[in-house]
Amino acid sequence: MKKVLAVLLIAALVLTMAACGSKPAGKDNADKKGNEEVETAKSVYTIYNRTGADLTEAYIYEAGSSDKGENLADQFHGNHATIDRGELPKGVDFVLEFTNADGYTGKFETLHAEEAPITLLAEDAKSGATAIAFETPVEPAQYKIVNNSGEKLTEAYIYPVGSSDKGENFAEGGMEPGAEVDVDYGNQSVDIKYIVEYTTESGRNEHFDTLSVEIATLYILAEDAMTGATPLSFLPPQN
């Protein structure tokens, strides 16, 4: 009898310990969910302001938040800014909101964590209610080259940075002092940078490596008129 009671007591103790060590239903799933890492993505937005006026306010914040965070308008230089938000959670909607100096406001409420170009559209350029476009703007690349070097140019090129093909020599046959030539590349993506390269009759060779897509007049400078290493000017010479 004593042996039977001992066996029963041991069995009861084992059952009690098993019950104490067990978890309520669903606890494993809850722990797993609670410890699950949130997937993120690098979030860098190259933003081009084409609203028609300087921005006074620009924000990127999580949808539903009452805190818009930092005003990003001061990061725009020349109507362009690269906003690096670091790692943001995937699958979460963010709001891109802006206001320009004319009082025009725009909002896009389903921005995601990604690396993307964004153009802020002018009100008359919008398609429906969408205030932005996920694209790099395209604008005219038109240049007038004016030879103010004081000597004849034998070579003059404008070509994309990184290209091994300089293209047409706009001083073919010699470009006399004071002469002008128009160069028109049509509409180009504004993220392109051009090199201006020229050679004078005396053999002086110069480069300017950061010409933007724009409509501009380029004045080729004489060596004694250069400011530092800059071989051309966007301003007419002062008499």
What CATH number is associated with residue 146?
Answer: 2.60.40.2890
For residue 29, is it within any domain?
Answer: no
- Give residue 197's domain range: 138-233
User: Does the residue 129 lie in any domain?
Assistant: yes
% of the chain residues with pLDDT over 90: 78
Structure confidence at residue 35 (pLDDT): 57
Give me the mean pLDDT over the 96-115 stretch. Answer: 96
Q: What is the pLDDT of residue 180?
A: 96
Q: Which residue has the higher pLDDT, 10 or 162?
A: 162
Convert the pLDDT of each residue in 200-231 to its tens digit.
999 999 999 999 999 999 999 999 988 888 99
Do residues 126 and 46 share a domain?
yes
Say if residue 105 is in the same domain as residue 128: yes
Q: Where are the alpha helices (DSSP H) in the chain?
A: 2-21, 27-35
| Dihedral sign from CA coordinates of 196, 197, 201, 204 | positive
Whether residue 173 sits in one domain with residue 152: yes
> Residue 1: is its pLDDT beyond 50?
no
Q: 46-98, pLDDT tens digit by residue?
A: 999 999 999 999 999 999 999 999 999 999 988 999 999 999 999 999 999 99
Nearest to 175 by CA among 150, 143, 140: 150
Which residues make beta-bridge pairs with 111? 94
In this structure, is residue 21 part of a structural domain? no
Integer Cα distance of 143 and 129 in angstroms: 35
Asked if the structure places residue 25 within a domain, the reply is no
**In this predicted model, which residue has the larger pLDDT, 153 or 32?**
153
The domain boundary residue, chosen from 68, 102, 133: 133
Q: Identify whether residues 146 and 126 lie together within a single domain.
A: no
d(CA 211, CA 159): 10
Q: Given pLDDT bands bounded at 50, 70 and 90, which one contains residue 237?
A: confident
Any domain includes 16: no
Tell me how far apart the alpha carbons of residues 71 and 56 are, in angstroms, rounded to a whole number.
9
Q: Is 7's pLDDT higher than 50?
A: no
Q: Quote the number of domains for the chain.
A: 2
DSSP 71: -
Residue 207, in any domain of the structure: yes
Average pLDDT for the chain: 88
Are residues 78 and 61 both part of a single domain?
yes
pLDDT grade for 34, boundaries at 50, 70 and 90: low
DSSP assignment of 145-174 = EEEESSS-EEEEEEEETT-S-----TTTT-
Residue 117 has pLDDT above 90, yes or no: yes
pLDDT at 31 (0 to 100): 40
For residue 18, is pLDDT > 90? no
Check residue 229 and give its pLDDT: 84
Sequence-distant (≥ 6) Cβ neighbours of residue 129 within 8 angstroms = none
What number of other Cβ atoms are within 10 A of residue 104's Cβ? Answer: 16
- Looking at the domain assignment, is residue 63 inside a domain? yes
Rounded mean pLDDT, 26-35: 44
Whether the per-residue pLDDT at 233 is higher than 70: the answer is yes
